[in-house]
Amino acid sequence: MPPKMYQYEKIPKPKSGLYKVVKFLLTYPLRFLCNMKVRGTENEPTTEQGAYLVIANHRTWADPIYLACVLKHGQPHFMAKKELFKIPLLNLLIRALGAYPVNRGGADVGAVKHTIEMLKAGVCVGMFPQGHRYNKVDPRKTPVKTGAAMIALKAGVPVLPVFVKVKNNKHFFLCKKEVVVGKPITIEEMNYNPEAPGEYQRVADYLFERVCELGD
């Protein structure tokens, strides 16, 4: 029996008031405690330039927080596994911060459609193309899923690559880290050919390679 589809609420605001408050309270303490350096923030599109899909390598549960603290203009809304929304207080907090549920056990068509609708409505979204956390591993040696590429192409939005760099690919909370924001990748740069087989995977690999190049 297929899983019951989640009934998504209306498209959220591009940046909520609670998000602004939480970001203000977290950004500077987090940068200090985590010895975080940031480069390339000038590459982030402004609100007036429209929505974008931000993608990054994924090592820790804290990656969405790092990205939120670094990005200045947009509020990246992230998918979160549906089980987290069953925890009462956590459910309220992550909803307020813009997270929305996804069924990680299979293809969640509803979550994909909701993501595309948000991007088309001008709401920024964040995704991790690896699909899972890979700590102590070179990101280039991990598999890349096609979801982010497919969503960017169907929504017709640019992709903002971000790389979270740590020494020897080993992340722990207080380790020194550098977050590098790259230049947006346009739809034209993806050179998508709908007639060619395996195009989503090719574009996905290209986008993630652009992410990894920021860590070189």
Judged by DSSP in three states, 92 sits in helix
Task: Flag whether pLDDT at 13 surpasses 60.
Answer: no
**CB half-sphere exposure, 127, CA atoms < 13 A:** 28
Domain 17-213 falls under CATH 3.40.50.2020: no
pLDDT in the model for residue 74: 76
DSSP 96: H
**pLDDT tens for each residue of 106-161:** 667 888 888 999 999 999 999 999 988 888 889 999 999 999 999 999 999 999 99
Q: Identify the residue with better confidence: 33 or 150.
A: 150
pLDDT in the model for residue 3: 43
| Contact by Cβ (8 Å): 155, 119 | yes
The model carries a pTM of 0.85
What CA–CA distances, in Å, run from 154 to 30, 101, 147? Answer: 35, 20, 11
Per-domain residue ranges for the chain?
17-213
- And the tokens for 28? 């500077």
As a whole number of angstroms, the distance between CA 76 and CA 123 comes to: 8
| Secondary structure (DSSP) of 85-137 | GGSHHHHHHHHHTT-EEE-TTS--HHHHHHHHHHHHTT--EEE-TTSS--TTS
Q: Identify the residue with better confidence: 68 or 14.
A: 68
- And the tokens for 164? 């979270």
- And the tokens for 73? 């203009």
Judged by DSSP in three states, 28 sits in helix
Number of H helices, E strands in the chain: 7, 7
As a whole number of angstroms, the distance between CA 89 and CA 215 comes to: 36
